[in-house]
Amino acid sequence: MGKHHQNLLNNLEDLRKKAGLTQQELSEAAEVSRKSINAIENGIYVPSTVLSLKIARTLKCKVEDLFKLP
């Protein structure tokens, strides 16, 4: 688990690295800015449902694998 937002635990950094993607590559696949990915990984920002699903689709995992409620 990476750094967390107070309302959301996230596992994005680990899963992204396991998929062998950089933040830039993931951001391009999910159609957002790299800083959005960075903000999510560092627990600064809670993504929308659409963005969460796009990230999960890119990393070939479930949204529940990426994010959990604290």
Is residue 19 a contact point for another protein (CB under 8 A)?
A: no
Nearest to 63 by CA among 45, 42, 49, 43: 49
Q: Which stretch binds another protein (CB under 8 A): 4-12, 14-22, 30-38, 59-67?
A: 30-38
Place of tokens 């933040």: 23
Nearest to 41 by CA among 27, 57, 61: 27
**For another protein, the closer CB: 38 or 65:** 38
Residues making contact with another protein (CB under 8 A): 27-28, 31-36, 38-39, 45, 47-48, 51
